[in-house]
Amino acid sequence: MGELNFADKARMNGETVERDRLAVELCGIPLENPVIPASGTFGYGAEFAELYDINILGTFSFKGTTLEPRYGNPVPRIAECTAGMINAVGLQNPGISHVIAEELPRMKAYFHKPVMANVSGFSLEEYAETCRLLGKEEQVGWLEVNISCPNVHGGGMSFGTDPSAAAEVVRTVRKVTDKPVIVKLTPNVTDIVSIARACEEAGADGISLINTLLGMRIDLKTRKPVIKNVMGGFSGPAVFPVALRMVYQVSHAVSIPVVGMGGVSSAEDVLEMMMAGASAIEVGSQNLVDPFACKKIIEALPETMDRFGIRRLSELSAL
């Protein structure tokens, strides 16, 4: 191969500078940029990899995984609403054995960075075993532990609504893996700070928030709920101010990294989240509106940073 000419070298140097401007770190693992598609909106990345090179992403959080396969809730389980959507999919997934045997090996062909594994469970034992198995996988960089699930041994109340229950999940998972554990919190609580602090004290390496708010819609013609499950998780641009507020509160109350999410749909939203204290950002519902959303946000970040006088994201100070 011939020597690069001046134009080629200049282009490559420019790309390196842009990458350096966007580079951040999450729980000790470097990211080329802070943009991460959220679990449940990106599958295992295969469909998106057919549209563009998803290695442009910082990483992605793959479909929430439980110990056993789940078929999810009955349909209809999606409802549209102003500036967002409601879903009650119900953690539909093929189970941990399939993910390890089929999805992770397939993923190697199209994604060449550490991936974030999103884990759900309905008992401490289920969380522990799923995290233990995923923690042994080389491709998995982080375990994002979703504690918004109902505790079947605790009357059905979500692990994430009680500080002591949340801490118990973290302690249980911490015993079975050395991988960074990021706890995903539900916003459907009165004091999210106390829950985040309990997770940190129990050994969490990071916090991600917010999961979906609880919402519902009613069909005026049938006079019945649109969703078969009656209620579901409300997400989309309408929840962004709530998410931003909670990211700000939690990031100022803990010393571990915070991953901000909830209604993020633009490069400006990314900068707001980072100013509120987030180390990285997840993009959720916008992926369902526009499959190129994350790519567009990443490409828009340098110009957006220029407009607001931001040289490097790593130098961006929280409020």
3-state SS string for the chain: CCCCCHHHHHHHHHHHHHHHHHCEEECCEEECCCEEECCCCCCCCHHHHCCCCHHHCCCCEEEEECCCCECCCCCCCEEEECCEEEECCCCCECCHHHHHHHHHHHHCCCCCCCEEEEECCCCHHHHHHHHHHHHCCCCEEEEEEECCCECCCCCCCEHHHCHHHHHHHHHHHHCCCCCCEEEECCCCCCCHHHHHHHHHHHCCCEEEECCCEEECCEECCCCEECCCCCCEEEECHHHHHHHHHHHHHHHCCCCCCEEEECCCCCHHHHHHHHHCCCCEEEECCHHHHCCCHHHHHHHHHHHHHHHCCCCCHHHCCCC
Exactly one of 27, 81, 131, 149 is catalytic; name it. Answer: 149
Residues 203-254: tens digit of each pLDDT? 999 999 999 999 999 999 999 999 999 999 999 999 999 999 999 999 999 9
Residues 69-79: tens digit of each pLDDT? 999 999 999 99
Section 11-39 average pLDDT: 86
All domains of the chain, ordered by start, with CATH? Answer: 30-74+89-214+238-309 (3.20.20.70)
27 is catalytic: no
pTM above 0.75? Answer: yes
Section 139-168 average pLDDT: 86
Section 178-206 average pLDDT: 97
How confident is the model at residue 149, as a pLDDT? Answer: 75
Tell me the pLDDT band of 183, cut-offs 50, 70 and 90. very high
Average the pLDDT over each of 9-23, 185-199, 205-219 and give the range with the smallest value: 9-23
How far apart, in whole angstroms, are the C-alpha atoms of residue 258 and residue 270? 13
